[in-house]
Structure 1
Amino acid sequence: MAPPTATPHVLLVPFPAQGHALPLYDLAALLAARGLRLTVVTTPANAAQLAPLLAAHPDSVHRLIFPFPSHPSLPAGLENTRNCPPVYIAVFIHALAALHQPILAWARSQSAHPVVAVVSDFFCGWTQPLAAEIGVPRVVFTPSGVLGTAVPHSLFRRLVKRPVGCDDGFQVAFPTIPGEPAFEWREISMLYKIYIEGLVEEQVGESLEQNCLWNLESWGFVSNTFRALEGRYLDAPLEDMGFKRVWAVGPVAPDTDTAGDRGGEAAVAAGDLSAWLDAFPEGSVLYVCFGSQTVLTPAMAAALAEALERSAVPFVWVVSGDGVVPEGFEARAAAAAKRGMVVRGWAPQVAALRHPAVGWFMTHCGWNSVLEAVAAGVPMLAWPMAADQFVNARLLVEDAGVALRACAGGVGVAPDAGELAAVLADAVGEKGSGARTRAKELAAEAAIAARSGGSSYEDLERFVQEIQKL
């Protein structure tokens, strides 16, 4: 038997959703650069996504491929959550737990490179008992911010219910979170609502609850956030995160990344988009994108299109998946002094946000998009749809001051086109000056946090030191 190596070996378990897996891979690159040996669990259909990480760190990052666990509620061959309804995501969380035994058997065979810790996504709570059986600590990786992580864990910890007779405006309070935020029932995560309202089979629902409770037993949380953005939620351990330590190490994405590199083949090249934007004055263009999961209904798309036309603000509108654009709108926008561009498919979002002409970002407030905008110094128009996005919107508008509210309706709710046009006019006018200024300040703070001596850099160094002690 070969003697164990001195290099700490960490097992990483991502959740097969792009918004979850990619930032964990970014964290893996940072850990590998600091001398850790990493093994990343994946399944056949998701393995290719690891290629850039493996190419960059061929000696220190390895992949461990297992067949995706089948489940009768999932279509055959479905191995990631892209374009999936919330019920499917709940089943994914439940189904992945079947990887426990094969991973355990593999871990017990690693005599030359024994695993010293497990780092896994917060939707992989089943890795908590797995880590215990291996005999190592488990760290929860949260691709959301601290506030966006505390809120759902609070719900599952307290099992909050909407009283009989109350509508979606029922206020849910979070008294143990700094600032004591409250959210309407319609703003609560659909994953929690389908559980508490009994809309999934019992085993799946129990997995959702247990997943969160296991997270609260972990060694701690590694969060893709930074102190200047979420300092009030990092100053003291939160009850809704089990009073565990949080290492704030974000933003973890490299500055040079473009969304088209990892999200799929871009529908427009970064150079072509940059050339189009070059024709506009600094800060004059609105970039509109609602991520890879959200598809606007025809009514929502019509309201947005009308608002864009009424406001006369130059724009780039990225329409993903099966999204629709009102008939004739694209041609009218292109004809009006080439004022608007519609991109159907994936766009190089990081490159677009960093172009000087882009002055605002209308976003669903998904956390990866939020951090990309923050790093670029671009203020946001918040139009949250689901998941943690209402929580993120509150953070951006009320805490950070880098966003204005565009629409509060959520999935399927179309805004009033006139009201939305007024929001756009306010944003590019004097009323948006405060958010524009604060966005530039926060971008500088994010850059400082990630550099040597910065808060995120130091938290990452401390985390690696804790791993090395194991």
Structure 2
Amino acid sequence: MEITSNNIIWEKHVAVFAFPFASHPALMLTLVRRLASAAPKVVFSFFSTEASNKALFSELSCYNIKPYDVSDGKKDHVSIRNPEEGISFFLTVAEDEFTRGVRVAEMDTGLRVSCLVVDAFVGCSGDMAEEMNIPWVAFWPAGTCSLAAHFYTDLIRHKCAPLLGSAGPNQEIADLIPGLKAVRLGDLPSGVVLGNLESPFATMLHKMGRSLARATAVPINSFQELDPDLTKNLSSKLNNFLNIGPFNLISGEESPSKSDEFSCMKWLDNQETRTVTYICFGRLCRPPPHELVELAEALEENKTPFLWAINKDSHMHFPKGFLERTSANGIGKVVPWAPQDQVLNHAAIGVFITHGGWTSALEGLVAGVPMICRPFLGDHYINSWMVESWGIGLRIQGGKFTKHATRCALEQALSLSKNRDERIEGLRDLAYKAVANGSSDKNFKTLVEVVTGVTMPFE
């Protein structure tokens, strides 16, 4: 059935459910903009919270993507003390809100929803798709390693049960996750075997891992040449397991504005090649005050040129006079925000100090910049393990910043940067090839077919 709206004939109606936390909504919108461009006669109803949609759609517009607000579940006058609390509020209302939203969007468009494209974290969506008898596309915005950990949670718990009394978090366990040679016990995402296994967040992820085999397709923000053994294993367990990234290599017209309001690039232009350390811990994470002091002192004493993106609230924890001294002698630049992808691809960048979030890890890999990881939560630990396994970086010794550990890490990473080996350059090249008529490009065309029911031509 064809429905006309604003002189456009819509042939299909796809509902998109975002998980409105951290970088998830932005990555989901990146995916949907690609789908919307490939399928101009399909209308995509994009559901997220009001705050999330306001941030996402303030500058971006696409005629066949229509945002709809859903409740965040937060009760009036209740303050959110930590991210998990906000997630818990949202999860209590998510199914009802998405169900209500779909009804509204169907009335607006005059078309029944023909496919659900969702963040895999929205666990209720599988049952909804089954009730509606339509395809369920569960997008995983992180890495293959963390997805495997959640998919195999029951198996991992069974294997770890005899070890939990004796094994420490730093013990490497072979063949714990099918397709991965070894992993440290403490690097598994919290809620798999360590931490609060009964928390709403851990319960949600456990349910998701158990249900993913029902999905019509599972696209992921990675490229299959990065983790071939994991990809091969998951491809045998999941329908249409599709590596379609890295997203940061997608054409700029699908990306948000890349402004440089704090003149980071101009500052980098005056630095020597591969000498600058770029530091950023994402939107939600920052080291505790004593670690900020240790990191800052190590940078200053080593006279390491650095560009540090960190919110102004953290400045109070820096050593006295640190900002003034490093700015005056030209050694450092501290900004509240930096265009990270552009920064990492600048010739002056030699090292990336990161929290190990998946998007950041991919951006560092694609730029060919060695990484020093200081993980904090979620998938940061297993991502950092993979960075080490790929040979493109290391984790800070002891898992926390001290002057000694920072100096040692900088020495190793800068040496790796100045003598880039075949492994770093090889992975970088494979990423570019994947999105340029390679595996990721072919997988994306398969995804378009699943979502729209229309076969895409292969070049």
Q: Which interval holds the TM-score relative to the shorter structure? A: 0.7 to 0.9
Correspondences of 1:430-445 after superposition (within 5 Å): 431-433=416-418, 435=420, 438-445=423-430
Match of 2:247 in 1: 252
Task: Determine the C-alpha separation between the residues in 1 that align with 2:201 and 2:342.
Answer: 40
Question: Once the 2 structures are TM-superposed, how far is the Cα of residue 156 of structure 1 from its aligned partner?
Answer: 5.3
Give yes or no for contact 1:223–1:247 (8 Å, CA) kept in 2.
yes
Q: Which residue of 2 aligns with 1:44?
A: 50
Name which of structure 1's ranges 105-114 and 314-323 shifts more when overlaid on structure 2: 105-114
Match of 1:446 among 407, 412, 431: 431
Q: 1:384, 1:407 within 8 Å by CA — same for their partners in 2?
A: no
| Change beyond 3 A, Cα 1:182–1:152 | same
Letter in 2 for 1:245: N
Residue 459 in structure 1 maps to residue 443 in structure 2: yes
- 2:234 maps to which of 215, 237, 261: 237
Given that residues 257 and 350 in structure 1 are in contact (C-alpha distance below 8 angstroms), is that contact kept between their aligned partners in structure 2? no
Residues 1:405 and 2:374 aligned together: no
* Counterpart secondary structure, 2:226: helix
Q: Is the 8 A contact 1:143 1:223 kept in 2?
A: yes
User: Which residues of structure 1 form unaligned runs of 5+?
Assistant: none
Q: Does 1:391 align with 2:382?
A: yes
- The answer to whether the Cα contact below 8 Å between 1:334 and 1:340 also exists between their aligned partners in 2 is yes
For 2:305 and 2:24, the matched residues in 1 are separated by 32
- 1:99 paired to 2:97: yes
Aligned-partner Cα distance in 2 for 1:351–1:234: 29
* Paired position in structure 2 for 1:286: 277
Cα distance in 1 for partners of 2:216, 2:298 equals 48
How many residues in Structure 1 have an aligned counterpart in Structure 2? 441
Distance 2:444 2:225 in 1: 16
Which one-letter code corresponds to 1:179 in the other structure?
L
Moved more, 218-227 or 206-215: 206-215
Deviates more, 1:435-444 or 1:29-38: 435-444
Q: What is the aligned-residue RMSD (CA, Å)?
A: 3.2
Deviation at 1:101, TM superposition (A): 3.3
Deviation of the 1:433 alpha carbon:
4.8
Tell me the TM-score normalised to structure 1 length: 0.83
Q: Tell me the distance in 2 between the aligned counterparts of 1:164 and 1:75.
A: 39
Structure 2 vs 1, CA of residues 170 and 426 (structure 1 numbering), >3 Å: closer, same or farther? closer
1:338 and 2:339 correspond:
no
Q: In 2 relative to 1, CA 441–369 (structure 1 residues): closer, same or farther, beyond 3 Å?
A: same
Query: Alpha-carbon deviation of 1:2?
Result: 6.8
3-state secondary structure, aligned to 1:227:
coil
Q: TM-score normalized by structure 2?
A: 0.85
Report how far residue 110 of structure 1 moved.
7.3
Instruction: Give the counterpart letter for 2:395 in structure 1.
Output: R
Instruction: From the superposition, tell whether residues 258 and 316 of structure 1 become closer, same or farther in structure 2 (CA, over 3 Å).
Output: farther
1:18 — aligned with what? 22
Map of 1:360-399 to 2, 5 A cutoff?
A: 360-398=351-389
**Which sits farther off after the overlay, 365-374 or 153-162?**
153-162
Secondary structure at 2:434 match in 1 = helix
Moved more, 382-391 or 63-72: 63-72
One-letter identity of the residue aligned with 1:38 = F
> Match for 1:359: what amino acid?
G
Change (3 A) 1:434 1:93: farther
Is 1:152 paired with 2:143? Answer: no
Q: Which residue of 2 aligns with 1:426?
A: 412
Q: Are 1:355 and 2:355 matched, yes or no?
A: no
Task: Summarize the Cα distance change of 1:450–1:177 in structure 2 as closer, same or farther, 3 Å threshold.
Answer: same
Between the aligned partners of 1:213 and 1:94, the Cα distance in structure 2 is 20
Partners of 1:40 and 1:62 within 8 A in 2: yes
Question: Shift of the alpha carbon at 1:359?
Answer: 1.7
Shift of 1:33: 1.0
Match status 1:274 vs 2:265 = yes
